[in-house]
Structures are given as structure tokens and as C-alpha cells.
Amino acid sequence: MLLPIGEMEKRLASVGVGELYLTVMQKFRREFPECHDVGVVRAPGRVNIIGEHTDYNGLPVMPMAIDREIVIAFSPDNSGTVEVVATDDTYPKAHFALSGNIPKFETGHWVNYIKAAAQAVWNWASVHCPDRLPLSGAKLCVGGNIPPGSGLSSSSALVVASALVFARDLNIDRVELAELLAKGERYVGTEGGGMDQAASLMGKAGNALKIDFFPLRIRPVSLPHGCLIAVANSMVAASKTGAARIAFNTRVVECRLGLELLKHISKHRNPRVVEATLLKDYVCLEPDWRAALDSLPDGPLTVAQIADVVGVAEGELRRRCLTLRDGSQLTEPKNGFQPKKRCLHVLTEADRVERAAQAAGRGDAVELGRLMNESHSSCAENYEISCPELDCLVDLLRRHGALGARLTGAGFGGCAVALVRQEEAPGLLEAVWTDYYRQFLPTRGLPTPSQREHVLFVTKAVDGACVIEV
Ligand code: NG1
């Protein structure tokens, strides 16, 4: 797995890896001339075909790992520190000491994702093999071709690739690693579920994945014959910091508040629902969840109003539902919470995922497309995570031949995903290029024709993350 740099470069070139790997190797050689042996890991991004904002509620998703990835060249050493550079100079160099308590850089610093991986692996080792601590230091050079802030999980791919470096000698089971990193990525301050890490680690070439949570179960799902998945970037950055992070965490809290209301409504008839800690538990215990959902009070609601309905002290409800993983409390949004609409999205979306996996399994492309369209409407109207650009893009994708199209990932910008028949794909890409990127987006730093393949492309499903063996 570790080879002298020159030998690694020669072998990578001979097996025909892309330009990206060679660029990573060149930069590694320039930045760390003292290093002798080097290893290489890769981790793919993912596109979510259907199942948005269900994962952190314990409900299923259907993503696929895509042919855009993070690649890291690394050289281990005994320094106890990690030195990191990126092929793209806009990401500053950084270094940090490995320990059981790695302090974060400022919010939004890209190396926090690498720290998240190191911290998670350290925590795992401290329980399962303390004799392997401290973890050895390393020099890392990171490159990638997943557009950042676009809902294609460049951040989780970075976490996963980094974790493969730190865990290379530890023998952590893949499913366990996916669960570990889902929690581990929360180090950066988002409250996400486990879809991205699982898709990046467990991707299967040629297949989408149906992923269930608690416990994590991953099943390959073949896409309908003759259909492709296209991705189109709205060019609205959906960063994980600032307003987008607050909006994301607000949705998580609204789901928790909705769960409290649902439990309150159902508990008289079905006392066991009080045990539910996630919407997933609630729907398992309450077959009649649709009726309960109908009788929830409409939003917007304040925490005080919800506490009043549920019959708990406001402070207790805040502690239970508004506390984030870092211990801080979410600030109540000025325009109130929308627990009913958010639960309506999540619960119907989970149902769509089940039906989408069945439709894909029997090759029913039309039904799969229809469910993707329905998902977008629910994301836009009930979860309110779309934006005018994404709505326009989704609309254009459908008008130019997609069987279904929807926003993908956390939303608030980023990419749209579309299901398209193979023979329609070239025409669709051409028409969307003209109508969206040339006509609709006149002011937003338009992509040049040479950038086209990075913003509008057909993607294929690939295998999950691995250490490169050449
Ligand atoms: P992206 O699109 O990568 O920000 C986020 C969460 C997922 C999932 C989706 C919405 C993280 C790392 N990822 O994905 O777990 O909740 O939003 O479906 O927080």
C-alpha cells in the first residue's frame, strides 16, 4: 500500500487513473520533498436520488456514490501531527496535533473535516485498541473534483478519505466506520444523518443504494435499464457555514418539535409512542400517523406555544429539542417553527423512498421519475429548502426530457438531480446548458464552456472509498 513516490506515480499512470491523481502526487512531491513512501486513498461524493432530510430522522434514503471524488496522497510519520496541503491553493495549508481532544479551527475551515475524521478514529481506537494510540502523524495532500457547496457531499468524502488514512491499520468494519463517521462529522457543527458517509464508503458500481438507519443497512438497487442520472449545479452556493447551517439545524429541531407534538396526540390511544426518540420510531409505533399528522396545529408556532400544547415547561422543551450536539441552543427563528409542514415532508418522503426503491427494482422508470418530482414539490413547499434557481433548473430539466428531477442534498442551493433516458441525455444537457446557464443565470459568474463538465453532467455509480492498490 505504501510505495516510494516515483514508483507510486509510475504505477498510477500505468493503470490509467485520471489527471486528478497525478496532480495530487505532483503537489505532494513539491510540498513534502523529504517524504519517501506514499499511499493514496480515494472517496467518492454522492448524489441523492430520493430521500431528503430523512436520514437524521432515522428514515431511509436512496443515494448513489458518483464518479467525482476526493483523493489524498499521504505519508505516515511519527511526528504526532498532521500536515495538510491542497492542490487548490485557495485552501490554506494547515497542521494540527493528534490527540484525544483535537480543538477545531474557526467555523468553515476546510481542515475541520480532516480533524473530524482524526477525532472519530482516535475515539474508536481508545475504546477498541488503546494500545494503538497515539495515532501516527502524517503528511497529506488533498485534491478533488466534487464541486464544493453543491449538495454532492464533498465534505463527507473528505471526512471518509481522511478516515481511511488514520484508520489504515485498525481494521474497522465498513458499516461501523460509516456509523462512526456519521457521528464524527458533527464535529463541524451540523446535525446531519448518516447518508453521505455511508454512500461514500459503501457505494457499488452501477447501482444506487437503499440505506436504512439504526441499525445501518445498505442494499444495492439497480436503476431502470437504459436510464441515466444527470446532475446540474444551480450555481447557488449551499455552504455548510453561516445561514445555510442555521437553516439546516432549524429543520432538525423542527422535526424534534414535531415528534413531541405527534407523541402527545397519539399517546392517549397508544401509550408506547412516548418511547419514540426519532420520527422513525414514531411511525413504527403508530400505524395511523397520517391522521395524527392531520390533527397537528398549523405553524408558525413558538416554543412557548408548542410547550403549551404538549404540556411541558418551556425550558424543558427547549432543552430537549433545541439543544445542538455542541451543547449550544438553536436561536428561535423570528418567524416561528413549522413542525407540521416539516413532519409532513419527512414522513411522506420516507414513504416515497420505499416506493422509489420498489419502482427502480422492477425497472419502472416513469414511476421513479414521478416520485422524484413529488419529492421536489415536498422539499420546496413543506420543507422550504428550495430557491428560485433550483425551481427553475428542475423545471427546465423536466421540460427538456427528464422523467423526474429534484433538488438533491441539503438544499438552499447546490445541485439538481434528474432521471433521464440514455437517448435523451445529450439533448437534455444541451438544452439546459442554453436555457439555464446562458439565459436564466445572466449575472451569477457564468460557467465557461470549459467548466461545463463540472456543472452539468451525466454521472455513473461507482464503488465506495478505498485505499488505492496498484
Ligand atoms: P449535504 O447535501 O451533503 O449537505 C446533508 C446531510 C445529510 C442529509 C442531507 C439532506 C451532512 C454531512 N449531510 O447533506 O446527512 O441530511 O443534508 O438529505 O450533514
The pLDDT assigned to 438 comes to: 80
37-78, pLDDT tens digit by residue? Answer: 999 999 999 999 999 999 999 999 999 999 999 999 999 999
Please report which residue ranges of 267-311 form alpha helices under DSSP H: 279-285, 289-294, 303-310
> Does 196 qualify as catalytic in the annotation?
yes
Say how many Å lie between the CA of residue 351 and the centre of ligand 1: 19
Distance 237 CA to ligand 1 centre (A): 14
Substitution candidate for ligand 1 out of 70, 195, 233, 415 with most atoms within 8 A of CB: 195
Q: 410 C-alpha vs ligand 1 centroid, how far in Å?
A: 5
| Average predicted confidence (pLDDT) for the chain | 94
User: In which band, very low, low, confident or very high, does the pLDDT at 452 lie, cut at 50, 70 and 90?
Assistant: confident
Is the pLDDT confidence value at 170 over 90?
A: yes
If DSSP codes are grouped into helix, strand and coil, which group holds residue 158?
A: helix
Give distance in angstroms: CA of 280 to centre of ligand 1.
Answer: 17
Residue 388: its pLDDT value, please? Answer: 94
Residue 444 has pLDDT above 80, yes or no: no
pLDDT at 442: 62
Burial class of residue 38 (count of CB atoms within 10 Å of its CB; 0-12, 13-18, 19+): buried
Residue 365 CA: distances (Å) to CA of 22, 225, 352, 373, 431: 38, 8, 14, 12, 22
Name the percent of the chain lying above pLDDT 70.
98
Residue having the nearest C-alpha atom to atom 9 of ligand 1: 410
Kindly state if the Cβ of 52 falls inside 6 Å of ligand 1. Answer: yes
Instruction: Check pocket membership of 410 for ligand 1, CB cut-off 6 A.
Output: yes
Q: What residue type is 144 in one-letter code?
A: G
Average pLDDT over residues 387-403: 97
Hey, whose CA ends up nearest to atom 4 of ligand 1? 410
Express each pLDDT in 238-297 by its tens digit.
776 678 888 999 999 999 999 999 999 999 999 999 999 999 999 999 999 999 999 999
Cell representation of residue 184: 464524527
pLDDT for 453 equals 87
CATH architecture for the domain at 3-221+462-467: 2-Layer Sandwich (3.30)
* Cell numbers standing for residue 246: 442555521
The fold of the 251-339 domain, in CATH, is: de novo design (two linked rop proteins) (1.20.1440)
The mean-pLDDT minimum among 185-189, 260-264, 378-382 falls in 185-189
User: What is the fold, at CATH topology level, of the domain defined by 230-239+342-459?
Assistant: Alpha-Beta Plaits (3.30.70)
Domain map of the chain by residue range? 3-221+462-467, 230-239+342-459, 251-339
Least confident span in 202-211, 221-230, 235-244: 235-244
The residue whose C-alpha atom lies closest to atom 12 belonging to ligand 1 is 192
Ligand 1 near 150 CB (within 6 A): no
Please give the model's pTM, rounded to 2 decimal places. 0.95
Q: Give the distance (Å) from ligand 1 centre to CA of residue 192.
A: 5
What 3-state DSSP class applies to 457?
strand
Contact 174, 431 (CB under 8 A): no
**How high is the pLDDT of residue 401?**
97
- Pocket lining: 119 vs ligand 1, CB cutoff 6 Å: no
How far is residue 282's CA from residue 204's CA, in Å, rounded to a whole number?
31
Residue type, 2: L
**pLDDT confidence of residue 470:** 87
All three cell numbers of 204:
457499488
- Is the CB of 184 within 6 Å of ligand 1? no
**Which ligand 1 atom sits nearest the alpha carbon of residue 154?**
3
Q: Is 192 in the pocket of ligand 1 (CB under 6 A)?
A: yes
89, 131, 196, 326: which one is catalytic?
A: 196
